[in-house]
Chains A and B, each alone.
Chain A
């Protein structure tokens, strides 16, 4: 693919020849991103594609620092946005671009959009955040797994998972109780994502359906980018 950046891009980084494909899956915690990414990776590898996966806060440079900052009580919204931007820049230059250069399909578990939504939900300007992320490569496709907050919280709770402190916006004092805070915060996040859908060209995937249905839509979308013969309507024949 021809490499485009959202802004000025990455200085001293060779972006000229990146034959791989950058695919992003966005969506809230609990929406099924990791399940679908795993299934997609197995499916693609089964068809002979080399796949590299990456996700928020996994950079070798910042991973420990971000974990420690999240454990403390002093992680301010601006600092958080810039720390995560550092994380993405490091992964782009040291992991994602080398993989793209070697022709890999890079599956990214969330990208700049979660970070823009998080910052904007905390009162930062979305335009400012978009400028900060001017170094980021424009992905070939952004799948947004969309699920309303009520469905999301039921899904998290019936799995027996805890409601995450940061994913509930507990740092911004939305409500005295965890449940209400989570619902309000996720509604704000969804509103941010909906606002980004057109400008950033998300493909919206209705995540309220079964895993099989959602996965089939993702595969159909990926086949359109990588190789139209990959996707067969009959899942048995498709592998």
Chain B
């Protein structure tokens, strides 16, 4: 199994990527609603959510214990646990797996934190290739407006405050996310991600997403009436 190789199972794996505020989670949620209403079996998983690793990540963030290397490794651990437990079984059973962020997030973020690009890629060698990887591309201004618009202050790691780019969280957020954006552009080309223009309206983007997903649905089993 690798990021360059299809899983070969009867299910489908659709992932979304993009910097914070790119709108990817909104689009994935709309896609999930659509697929469920069409009668498909769907399983959802998101970055940094493994119950096995959660307490460790929380403690590390709270006590500020992380370095670029341990931050990268703990996210790979989290991903491995979900890959084994929440991603492969539904793919094997023929479900549609929707993933909010994939290994590409690590390739962008961890490299900005200073980890060697080849090393971070090697950590995720066990990960399977998605059937569709959507990269929501936005300008940094769009991201800043969306994330900081409704909030007092960006979160510590989201703003890359651990990198010491700026003592001002808002300024740090902009610098950090700009760098992540640059890395995303490289990753997107390297792994041939499908680029979605994240600056358009939510409805326009969702129409495009559904159009891209449609061909993947052929051959999938739908829920029969009465199944729950």
> Are A8 and B118 interface neighbours, CB within 8 A?
yes
Instruction: Known contacts A65-B55, A76-B81, A78-B84; decide if A11 and B122 are in contact (CB<8 Å).
Output: no
B80 proximal to A (CB < 8 A): yes
Question: Which of B65, B77, B118, B123 is close to A79, meaning CB atoms less than 8 Å apart?
Answer: B77
B83 surroundings in chain A (CB, below 8 A): 78
> Are A11 and B52 interface neighbours, CB within 8 A?
no
Question: Which of A7, A8, A83, A93 is close to B67, meaning CB atoms less than 8 Å apart?
Answer: A93
Min CB gap A11→B, angstroms: 4
A86 proximal to B (CB < 8 A): yes
**Count the A-B residue pairs with Cβ separation under 8 angstroms: how many?**
98
> Are A128 and B122 interface neighbours, CB within 8 A?
yes
A43 surroundings in chain B (CB, below 8 A): none
> Are B68 and A12 interface neighbours, CB within 8 A?
yes
B70 surroundings in chain A (CB, below 8 A): 61, 86, 89-90, 93
A134 proximal to B (CB < 8 A): yes
Complex A-B, nearest 4 residue pairs according to Cβ-Cβ distance, in ascending order: A11-B114, A65-B56, A8-B116, A82-B77
> Are B56 and A131 interface neighbours, CB within 8 A?
no
A83 surroundings in chain B (CB, below 8 A): 53, 77
A69 surroundings in chain B (CB, below 8 A): 52
B165 proximal to A (CB < 8 A): no
Instruction: Known contacts A65-B52, A89-B73, A135-B119; decide if A78 and B67 are in contact (CB<8 Å).
Output: no
Task: List the B residue with the shortest CB-CB distance to A135.
Answer: B69
Give CA–CA (A89, B73) in the complex, Å: 8
A205 proximal to B (CB < 8 A): no
Most-contacted residue by chain B among A61, A79, A81, A128 (CB, 10 A): A79
Total count of chain B residues near the partner, CB < 8 A: 32
A132 proximal to B (CB < 8 A): yes
A65 surroundings in chain B (CB, below 8 A): 52-53, 55-56
Query: What are 19 pairs between A and B in contact, CB < 8 Å?
Result: A7-B116, A10-B67, A11-B69, A13-B69, A62-B74, A65-B56, A74-B85, A75-B52, A76-B85, A78-B83, A79-B50, A79-B77, A82-B73, A82-B80, A86-B73, A94-B67, A128-B126, A131-B119, A134-B116
> Are B123 and A62 interface neighbours, CB within 8 A?
no
A60 proximal to B (CB < 8 A): yes
B126 surroundings in chain A (CB, below 8 A): 78, 128
Give CA–CA (A128, B2) in the complex, Å: 12
A72 proximal to B (CB < 8 A): yes
Instruction: Known contacts A64-B55, A128-B125; decide if A78 and B69 are in contact (CB<8 Å).
Output: no
Task: List the A residue with the shortest CB-CB distance to B162.
Answer: A12
Interface residues of B in 106-143 (CB under 8 A from A): 113-116, 118-119, 122-123, 125-126
> Are B65 and A11 interface neighbours, CB within 8 A?
no
Interface residues of A in 48-88 (CB under 8 A from B): 60-62, 64-65, 68-69, 72, 74-76, 78-79, 81-83, 85-86
Give CA–CA (A210, B41) in the complex, Å: 63
Most-contacted residue by chain B among A62, A86, A94 (CB, 10 A): A86
Min CB gap B68→A, angstroms: 5
Give CA–CA (A128, B119) in the complex, Å: 10
